[in-house]
């Protein structure tokens, strides 16, 4: 299998980060334009209006668990550990991040958001377990 295929899920997540940044910028702009907020409110998150604070929180989420995703992808690439299973796991992880962000930025249903987060975390854990087995040359 082409080892560079692992970079496509990484690029897909990078796209998600930029989408969330765009949504955040748009919501902040319209909050100021509509009078809901003043530009100075964005200096401290606690004074940020509700219309954009959830987007800002989601942006933070994109740099928490996904850090382990990026490290795993790079480690798999460096050790020739990319195969159909690991690639599928990484794509599933990215899909869960899109679902999580979609839920967080729209209705923000906590139960659904939590389920998508847990699924992504479990999928990523499976990837790390596979990587450990790969290093042990068990798989």
The string of pLDDT tens digits covering residues 58-98 is 999 999 999 999 999 999 999 999 999 999 999 999 999 99
Q: How far apart are CA 125 and CA 110, in angstroms?
A: 22
Token pair 């690029």 in the structure block, residue = 11
CATH number of the domain where residue 15 is located: 1.20.120
The string of pLDDT tens digits covering residues 94-136 is 999 999 999 999 999 999 999 999 999 999 999 999 999 999 9
Token pair 């159909």 in the structure block, residue = 84
Domain total in the chain: 1
Q: How far apart are CA 109 and CA 132, in angstroms?
A: 35
Angle between helical axes of 110-135 and 65-78 (0-180°, round to 10): 30
Range of the domain at 84: 3-135
**8 Å CB contact between 17 and 59:** yes
Contacts of 97 (CB under 8 A, 6+ apart): 13, 16, 62, 66, 120
């Amino acid at each position: 299998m082409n080892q560079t295929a692992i970079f496509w899920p990484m690029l897909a997540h990078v796209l998600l980060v930029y989408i969330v940044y765009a949504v955040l910028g748009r919501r902040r702009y319209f909050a100021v334009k509509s009078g809901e907020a003043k530009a100075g409110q964005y200096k401290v998150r606690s004074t940020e209006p509700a219309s954009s604070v959830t987007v800002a929180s989601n942006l933070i989420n994109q740099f928490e668990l996904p850090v382990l995703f990026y490290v795993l992808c790079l480690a798999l690439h460096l050790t020739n550990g990319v195969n159909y299973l690991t690639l599928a796991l990484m794509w599933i992880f990215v899909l869960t991040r899109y679902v999580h962000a979609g839920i967080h930025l729209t209705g923000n249903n906590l139960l659904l958001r939590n389920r998508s987060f847990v699924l992504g975390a479990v999928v990523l854990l499976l990837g790390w377990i596979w990587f450990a087995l790969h290093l042990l040359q068990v798989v």
